[in-house]
């Protein structure tokens, strides 16, 4: 039975809808501005930072230098390189956002791609004596952008190594489930506390930078990018984790995505 709305209630609902509409429009335009800013700022920062790196490298290459200066120059170099990586990631992210970097959807052998990526990552894992086990269903053909798929796998596997335990293990499985391919990356590493789980997808979010201190600690952008790319393909990603025990990231990608799932 239809509910009859009185005139003033109708007006109120209409007004509310208008307000929401305006809010969304304002939000969208501020996202666009933020993206543009990110892109411009990263471009501007690239030149000075490469000068800093080059100068520090030059200084360090000199024969005569006061011992005290060496460590401070090494510091400049290390931080400079970190900044340069951050800028590169920012640029990549703003490009991905703008969808300028054209994605090319074509037939990809996801089984072979996964094999290839995990072989590439083995050396990195060996440095921490981490064993990689794989369960790869053969002939998983999927229509997708190959570069994105590689980035997704590299990010998830390198996180599993980065936040994995020395002498630990990583299990990588890919298989078909109805109209999807499913990828699962499981590690028995440091894990993520329940209250932090929803935040890991946010840009620049890092649970605890002290834990991943040193050169290898990242930028907090990896998972934001992974999520974006998976959703662009019409897929989903979820995580299950226990602090101190490990994490499992599971993503699903449609074998035949709808054209232009997200613009």
Minimum Å gap between C-beta 187 and ligand ADP is: 5
User: Of 8-16, 38-46, 73-81, 183-191, which part binds ligand ADP (CB under 6 A)?
Assistant: 183-191
Minimum Å gap between C-beta 31 and ligand ADP is: 19
Name which position in 221, 229, 230, 237 contacts ligand ADP (CB under 6 A). 221
Under the binding rule (CB under 6 A), the answer on residue 168 touching ligand ADP is no
Question: Using only C-alpha atoms, what is the Rg of the chain?
Answer: 23
Give the residue carrying structure tokens 């990588």.
Answer: 172
Nearest to ligand ADP of 152, 253 (CB atom): 152
Under the binding rule (CB under 6 A), the answer on residue 188 touching ligand ADP is no
Minimum Å gap between C-beta 191 and ligand ADP is: 6
Under the binding rule (CB under 6 A), the answer on residue 218 touching ligand ADP is yes
Under the binding rule (CB under 6 A), the answer on residue 192 touching ligand ADP is yes
User: Where in 106-165 is the site for ligand ADP (CB under 6 A)?
Assistant: 159-160, 162-163
Nearest to ligand ADP of 98, 209 (CB atom): 209
Give me the half-sphere count of Cα atoms (radius 13 Å) on the Cβ side of residue 172.
27
Count residues binding ligand ADP (CB under 6 A): 21
- DSSP track, the chain: -PPPPPHHHHHHHHHHHHHHHHHHHHHHHHHHHHHHHHHHHHHHHHHHHHHHHHHHHHHHH-SS--HHHHHHHHHHHHHHHHHHHHHHHHHHHHHHHHT-S---EEEEEHHHHHHHHHHHHHHHHHTTTPEEEEEE-S--EEEEEHHHHHHHHHHHHHHHHHTSPTT-EEEEEEEEETTEEEEEEEE-SS---GGGGGGGGSTT--S-TTTT-STT---S-HHHHHHHHHHHTT-EEEEEEETTTEEEEEEEEESSPPTTS--
Give the residue carrying structure tokens 């900044």.
Answer: 83
Nearest to ligand ADP of 218, 235 (CB atom): 218
Under the binding rule (CB under 6 A), the answer on residue 187 touching ligand ADP is yes
User: Of 47-55, 185-193, 229-237, 253-261, which part binds ligand ADP (CB under 6 A)?
Assistant: 185-193
The token duo for 107 is 């037939």
Name which position in 168, 189, 235, 254 contacts ligand ADP (CB under 6 A). 189
Name which position in 168, 183, 222, 235 contacts ligand ADP (CB under 6 A). 222
Terminal C-alpha separation, the chain? 39
User: Of 75-83, 114-122, 143-151, 218-226, which part binds ligand ADP (CB under 6 A)?
Assistant: 218-226
Per CB under 6 A, residues contacting ligand ADP are: 159-160, 162-163, 187, 189-192, 200, 205-207, 218-224, 247
């Amino acid at each position: 039975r239809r509910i009859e709305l009185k005139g003033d209630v109708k007006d109120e609902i209409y007004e509310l809808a208008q307000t929401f509409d305006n809010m969304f429009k304002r939000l969208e335009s501020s996202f666009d501005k933020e993206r543009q800013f990110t892109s411009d700022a990263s471009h501007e920062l690239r030149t000075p930072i490469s000068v800093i790196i080059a100068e520090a490298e030059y200084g360090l290459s000199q024969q005569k230098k006061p011992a005290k200066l060496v460590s401070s120059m090494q510091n400049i170099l290390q931080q400079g390189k970190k900044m340069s990586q951050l800028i590169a990631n920012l640029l990549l992210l703003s490009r991905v956002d703008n969808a300028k970097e054209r994605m090319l959807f074509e037939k990809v052998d996801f089984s072979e791609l996964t094999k290839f990526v995990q072989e590439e990552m083995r050396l990195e894992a060996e440095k921490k004596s981490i064993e990689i086990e794989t369960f790869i269903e053969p002939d998983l053909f999927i229509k997708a952008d190959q570069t994105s798929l590689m980035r997704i796998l590299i990010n998830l596997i390198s996180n599993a190594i980065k936040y994995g335990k020395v002498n630990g293990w990583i299990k990588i499985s890919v298989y078909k489930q109805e109209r999807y391919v499913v990828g699962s990356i499981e590690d028995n590493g440091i894990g993520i506390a329940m209250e932090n789980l929803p935040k890991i997808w946010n840009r620049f979010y890092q649970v605890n930078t002290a834990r991943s201190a040193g050169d290898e600690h990242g930028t907090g952008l990896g998972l934001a990018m992974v999520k974006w790319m998976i959703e662009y393909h019409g897929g989903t990603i979820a995580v299950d984790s226990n602090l101190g025990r490990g994490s499992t990231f599971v993503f699903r990608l449609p074998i035949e995505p709808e054209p232009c799932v997200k613009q």
